[in-house]
Amino acid sequence: GWLMQMLIGLLLIASGAAKVWAGRSMKGAPNFPLVLGTGAVSALMGLVVLFGLNLNFGILLGIELLASGLALVLLAMHRRGQV
């Protein structure tokens, strides 16, 4: 019920904050706004879940996984110097 909804919402918000924090090292890189955007998407999904907006949880989870994957790929490319 509500406890699981609160935990998932807080987890998504923390995930978004971590992506924004990790993306700080990319300041000045061309993909910097994309990494910040993925963090914002995660935080927004957390707020949607936390405030209980009636959306399909599977769609929210899919969007979160796509945003996380994109952020990881962009951070790895930056570390390898390809971007």
Q: How far is CA 14 from the centre of its chain?
A: 9
Q: Which helix H or strand E contains 59, and what residues bound it? A: helix 57-80
DSSP character at residue 51 = T
Which residues contact residue 81 at a Cβ distance below 8 angstroms, ignoring those fewer than 6 apart? none
Q: Tens of pLDDT along the chain (83 residues)?
A: 789 889 988 999 999 999 889 888 878 878 788 888 888 988 998 998 888 876 777 888 888 888 888 888 888 888 888 65
What pLDDT, on a 0 to 100 scale, did the predictor assign at position 83? 58
